[in-house]
């Protein structure tokens, strides 16, 4: 079973983005359960003293489960199709990875040291996205990946 841990800087308050993330993650867990995918946990960290990217990196590192594969969300990362992303999840699951930590940085992005430590960097394109929208898009892509792996009709491309 591949457990997914979304570890993000900042708090996602109640509202439309929160509702979308909750819905997609619920669907992911429901669809993925029989495929060896899930559960998902969302861990939010905050640099309350405003010390910057290095402090955020420390908070993110502390939240990563021991032995987890780390994937960062970064505009410098690799752009994958939805099918390729589902294949990546499948490969990790099939190779015995138990925990996948997906890191989303704060307003200034991720500290270079944290980027260098990551096992994989994923990009949603060259544009920079607010963390709340990045979470929505990531959640939807997790659900889409589970749908692809389960041959469900959600993904039609």
Range of the domain at 83: 2-149
Say if 156 falls within a structural domain: no
Say if 154 falls within a structural domain: no
CATH number, position 76: 3.40.1280.10
Q: What is the mean pLDDT of residues 139-154?
A: 95
Say if 21 falls within a structural domain: yes
Question: Is the whole-model pTM more than 0.85?
Answer: yes
> How many structural domains compose the chain?
1
Say if 89 falls within a structural domain: yes
Residues 44-83 have pLDDT tens digits of: 999 777 778 899 999 999 999 999 999 999 999 999 999 9
Say if 155 falls within a structural domain: no
Q: How far apart are the first and last CA of the chain?
A: 27
């Amino acid at each position: 079973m591949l457990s997914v841990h979304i570890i993000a800087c900042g708090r996602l308050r109640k509202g439309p983005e929160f509702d979308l993330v909750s819905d997609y993650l619920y669907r992911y867990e429901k669809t993925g359960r029989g495929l060896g995918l899930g559960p998902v946990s969302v861990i939010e960290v905050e640099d309350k003293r405003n010390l910057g990217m290095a402090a955020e990196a420390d908070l993110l590192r502390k939240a990563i489960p021991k032995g987890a594969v780390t994937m960062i969300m970064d505009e410098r990362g690799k752009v994958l199709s939805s099918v390729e992303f589902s294949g990546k999840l499948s490969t990790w699951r099939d190779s015995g990875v138990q925990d996948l930590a997906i890191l989303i940085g704060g307003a200034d992005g991720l500290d270079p040291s944290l980027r260098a430590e990551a096992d994989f960097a994923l990009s949603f394109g060259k544009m920079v996205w607010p963390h709340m929208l990045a979470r929505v898009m990531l959640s939807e892509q997790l659900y889409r990946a589970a749908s692809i792996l389960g041959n469900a009709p959600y993904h039609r491309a």
